[in-house]
Amino acid sequence: MAPNPRVISAFSAMKALGISEYVVKPVLKQLLKVYDKNWELIEEENYRALADAVFDYLETNAVVQKRTSNNSYEEEEEEEAQLNDEPERPLKRTRKSQVGHGTSSVGNSDTVANVSALRTIDSENGGPSGNSSSQHTGKKGAPALNVTSHGDELQSVRSVKVSAHTKNQSVSLTLLAERERNITSHPVVENGAQMYANAIKGIQENPNSSPYFKEKGKKTVSQAPVKERNPMRARPSQALRLKEPKVEPGITSSPNANANMPKALALIQPKEEPFVDCATNFASSKVPSPTASRHPDSPSMMDALHDSGSAQKNGELRTPESPCHDGKNNQPNCPTNSVQRPVSGLADAPKVSSVDLESASSPLGEVRISLSCTLLNQTDFHMPSVDAVLKLAEEKNVKTYDINTNFSVKRVIRDVCDLFLELGCKPVESPESNVMHNPSSMKDLSNAKCDNVNSGFVPSQSTGTVNFKVAAPEVHITPPCMGAVNDHKLPADNGLVNSGEETDKAAEINGRGTDSGNNMAMVVADEFTSIYHADVTDGEEGMEISLINEINNVRPPSFKYMPYNVVFENARLDISLARIGNKDCCKACFGDCLASKIPCECASQLDGSFAYTLDGLLKEDFLEESNSIHRNPQKHLQFCSKNCPLLRSGSDELPVICNGHLARKFIKECWKKCGCHKMCGNRIVQRGITYNLQVFMTPDGRGWGLRTLEDLPKGAFVCEYVGEILTLKELRNRYTCNVNSDAYPVLLDAIWGFDKNLKDDRTLCLDGTIYGNIARFINHRCSDSNLIDIPVEVESPDHHYYHIALFTRRKVNASEELTWDYGIDFGRKFNAIKAFQCQCGSKYCRDMKHSIV
């Protein structure tokens, strides 16, 4: 449909005032309603009414946001109702007065909620729940901080840039916030800040001057402020639907070479050995010794393919699951601060003589806030590690503040600033301490010649400046991935790849050059030593996750980074708020459900308790129970006999009867239909990755691995296993045709043993091979892995689809490799996928007695 020329003219007129179309659009819509589509009234006096309404809206919006911003979901409902001419909607106050919970009280709010839900899904994810399309548009933002700017709700801070100038004794911190691109309103006035301010002032002085308020006694825009999308948007939890994986040019779909697929399947006899978490002996250089405890055999992910449920006759294993993250950044209900002007509060930092905070924005939705603080008579400042500062700031905030009620972005910023100064003024200790130091690779990086990479993270001694965030490289990790694993498969006799020669050989074997074919922006330093990429997530996560290869020339595999699951063609995945009944959500809640004395509906699956602690960690008893299921799978199996999807999908090598599927212990998180705040403590996995992780090349031939760069407490959410949501049938087709492919499938089979009429399109699994996240780099460790997979229900209440969240089973030390027990039964071999020869190094390794061909 051709755009209405009157609309275009209205936009142009407003643009001349420096007001963006994003702002004008919703207001215009409302105005047309108010004026019964009488354009003349709007166009009169060169759009005077519209201009007034816009300014009103901006002003009101600023006030509203300042005042609340607590429960944006409710606001969305209100807005939605307005747009739909709902006479009355569940008012925030009403809801709030219903302290606690309640299943249903909200009367007729269902309709409204559903409507708004749909809208929310649509806009928030840049993609619908059910449609197919490929909008990966949405940059998600697992917000670390939220700041308000320009009277507008803050968008999530996607990155932090910190720089210090020792020479001038100043430290500057730049928070780079990025607005969601899809946001409907964009209150940033492009060039007319002053004009806007004057206009607002005029309206304040003479409110009646606006015809907008006079006409017809109808609803005014200000009654229903059009709200911007909630900035604190957790990561989109629903899946995108893709028609088919897009494989970018230059990439082959699956290296044939040494495919090491999990083959495994299967059945493992749970061992009775005691466990002791052996420290990972391979992580890269300094791996602290693990101390934890843990146990042996269990099932794993790849099982799936092979026998997913795989089990065995007696004992069995299982498949892994979901995601999640920790809640250590739990922010309270609401951030507010308008961080626009010099924040005087910051000045009380003892060592700081002055603090400046400036903000700038672009019409594209980028907001940059720059904070600089100058030291007072401090001559011995040195640049501390950014990581150390942020880590300390985080710890400090979690410990110091009542995170639920008192959180203040301003204070966080001040703390970060203070800590910079504090750490920077301490004498330099060991290289491991808090002073920024780099692995050899970092040094190399500084000399690296790489034209197209603005590699930050390289401290430059000469200037004393550190750019924490590297200018985003135009990197596209392209599809078919599977590769990397093979690349490192070296001859079993040595396993270690550490010379250029060997590397080249490996690359040759795999038909790949060591230095071509991939346009990843990364730094290659020296000849064989460091390949470094500042952010393998391509900006898709709230955290940057670097990749480093100090071992050989193998480049990262080609795959498309996705922070959330995507639906492949035929899988049936119904995600809609309409499917979430009152018993599946806590509509009457507000704020933080964990803080409420009365457990809400979302806690009912766990007998009225939540799986998380107030610190955002998995509760001890929940973790222990889940560990126990992994240790003794045979006690938790549910059988689906002949109707087992695995049997139906056919394979000569599969057992004739179902070996059982684990009855998993689920976490149920609050979600969009719930009344609580997005930062509610029962929304951990949705918020995405919050720890500082790194993809690295293992030195012992297991290919890439994932490690943590900071200590992780026990029960911390690390990441979700993300991939394409496939039906089992699709999975089999995919890998039966390509037996040699590497694949990383995980069955979503928790319901299989219970649903006797399971249709093929509902037998789902996740495959992170082509579309996936950093979890695809996590290597397997038999039994005493430091991560455990927990199924998490977020947007789909029936357990056919759920998320797989990986939590720490014990405290994990910085630089330790993160591992997960895939649940592979190395004693079995199935046709579709080849198992690898396990080199986990665990004393419980299940592959020691088997020789895999």
Ligand X SMILES: C[S@@+](CC[C@H](N)C(=O)[O-])C[C@H]1O[C@@H](n2cnc3c(N)ncnc32)[C@H](O)[C@@H]1O
Q: Residue 132's beta-bridge partner residues?
A: none
Q: Is the dihedral of CA 121, 122, 126, 129 positive or negative?
A: positive
Residues 215/78, Cβ–Cβ less than 8 Å: no
Q: Which is nearer to ligand X, 485 or 586 (CB)?
A: 485
Piece of 52-60, 651-659, 774-782, 794-802 that binds ligand X (CB under 6 A): 774-782
Main-chain phi, psi angles of 359, to 5 degrees: -135, 155
Q: Nearest approach, Cβ of 102 to ligand X (angstroms)? A: 44
Q: Nearest approach, Cβ of 743 to ligand X (angstroms)? A: 8
Examine residue 702 and tell whether it contacts ligand X (CB under 6 A).
yes
Examine residue 590 and tell whether it contacts ligand X (CB under 6 A).
no
Structure tokens at 563: 């922070």
Q: Please choose, from the candidates 368, 373, 375, 367, the residue with its C-alpha nearest in 3D space to the C-alpha of residue 344.
A: 373
Q: Which is nearer to ligand X, 257 or 580 (CB)?
A: 257
Q: What is the DSSP string of 190-217?
A: SS-HHHHHHHHHHHHH-GGG-HHHHSTT
Structure tokens at 258: 């040494």
Piece of 257-265, 432-440, 470-478, 613-621 that binds ligand X (CB under 6 A): 257-265
Q: Nearest approach, Cβ of 250 to ligand X (angstroms)? A: 19
Distance separating alpha carbons of residues 220 and 490, to the nearest angstrom: 70
Q: Please choose, from the candidates 734, 665, 635, the residue with its C-alpha nearest in 3D space to the C-alpha of residue 311.
A: 635
Residues 820/806, Cβ–Cβ less than 8 Å: yes
Q: Nearest approach, Cβ of 182 to ligand X (angstroms)? A: 32
Residues 445 to 504: which contact ligand X by CB under 6 A? 484-485
Piece of 307-315, 590-598, 636-644, 832-840 that binds ligand X (CB under 6 A): 832-840
Q: Nearest approach, Cβ of 750 to ligand X (angstroms)? A: 20
Piece of 8-16, 101-109, 776-784, 791-799 that binds ligand X (CB under 6 A): 776-784
Q: Nearest approach, Cβ of 779 to ligand X (angstroms)? A: 3
Examine residue 329 and tell whether it contacts ligand X (CB under 6 A).
no
Who contacts 229 (Cβ-Cβ below 8 Å, separation ≥6)? 123, 124, 153, 180, 182, 183, 184
Distance separating alpha carbons of residues 536 and 705, to the nearest angstrom: 13
Examine residue 703 and tell whether it contacts ligand X (CB under 6 A).
yes
Q: Which is nearer to ligand X, 231 or 703 (CB)?
A: 703
Cα-Cα-Cα-Cα torsion 583, 587, 589, 595, nearest 10 degrees, comes to: 50
Q: List the one residue from 113, 693, 748, 840 that touches ligand X (CB under 6 A).
A: 840
Examine residue 323 and tell whether it contacts ligand X (CB under 6 A).
no
Residues 521/668, Cβ–Cβ less than 8 Å: no
Q: Which is nearer to ligand X, 485 or 551 (CB)?
A: 485
Q: Residue 374's beta-bridge partner residues?
A: 170, 354
Residues 113/673, Cβ–Cβ less than 8 Å: yes
Examine residue 776 and tell whether it contacts ligand X (CB under 6 A).
yes
72-83 helix and 109-125 helix, angle to the nearest 10 degrees:
100
Task: Tally Cβ neighbours within 10 Å of residue 653.
Answer: 12
Main-chain phi, psi angles of 347, to 5 degrees: -70, -10
Opening angle at CA 236, ends 233 and 237, nearest 5: 125
Q: Which is nearer to ligand X, 251 or 334 (CB)?
A: 251
Distance separating alpha carbons of residues 319 and 301, to the nearest angstrom: 4
Q: List the one residue from 13, 34, 115, 261 that touches ligand X (CB under 6 A).
A: 261
Q: Which residue's beta carbon is nearest to the bound ligand X?
A: 703
Q: Nearest approach, Cβ of 520 to ligand X (angstroms)? A: 15
Who contacts 397 (Cβ-Cβ below 8 Å, separation ≥6)? 403, 407, 411, 412, 415
Distance separating alpha carbons of residues 507 and 510, to the nearest angstrom: 5
Examine residue 260 and tell whether it contacts ligand X (CB under 6 A).
yes
Examine residue 560 and tell whether it contacts ligand X (CB under 6 A).
no
Piece of 68-76, 212-220, 696-704, 728-736 that binds ligand X (CB under 6 A): 696-704
Is 358 strand, coil or helix?
Answer: strand
Examine residue 839 and tell whether it contacts ligand X (CB under 6 A).
yes
Q: Residue 817: which H helix or E strand, with range?
A: strand 817-820
Task: Tally Cβ neighbours within 10 Å of residue 194.
Answer: 10
Piece of 165-173, 238-246, 256-264, 751-759 that binds ligand X (CB under 6 A): 256-264
Residues 623 to 642: which contact ligand X by CB under 6 A? none
Piece of 101-109, 233-241, 709-717, 835-843 that binds ligand X (CB under 6 A): 835-843
Q: List the one residue from 262, 591, 633, 681 that touches ligand X (CB under 6 A).
A: 262
Q: Which is nearer to ligand X, 610 or 777 (CB)?
A: 777
Q: Nearest approach, Cβ of 744 to ligand X (angstroms)? A: 4
Q: Please choose, from the candidates 572, 563, 568, 570, the residue with its C-alpha nearest in 3D space to the C-alpha of residue 796.
A: 572
Q: Nearest approach, Cβ of 840 to ligand X (angstroms)? A: 4
Q: Which is nearer to ligand X, 7 or 509 (CB)?
A: 509
Examine residue 306 and tell whether it contacts ligand X (CB under 6 A).
no
Residues in the interface with ligand X (CB under 6 A) total 21
Residues 232/157, Cβ–Cβ less than 8 Å: no
Q: List the one residue from 172, 779, 785, 808 that touches ligand X (CB under 6 A).
A: 779
Q: Which is nearer to ligand X, 262 or 660 (CB)?
A: 262
Examine residue 255 and tell whether it contacts ligand X (CB under 6 A).
no
39-67 helix and 193-205 helix, angle to the nearest 10 degrees:
90
Q: Please choose, from the candidates 304, 173, 161, 181, the residue with its C-alpha nearest in 3D space to the C-alpha of residue 830.
A: 304
Q: Which is nearer to ligand X, 59 or 784 (CB)?
A: 784
Q: Which amino acid, one-letter code, is at 592?
A: D
Q: Nearest approach, Cβ of 673 to ligand X (angstroms)? A: 34
Examine residue 745 and tell whether it contacts ligand X (CB under 6 A).
no
Examine residue 704 and tell whether it contacts ligand X (CB under 6 A).
yes
Residues 74 to 103: which contact ligand X by CB under 6 A? none
Site residues (vs ligand X, CB under 6 A)? 260-262, 484-485, 557, 702-705, 742, 744, 776-780, 836, 838-840
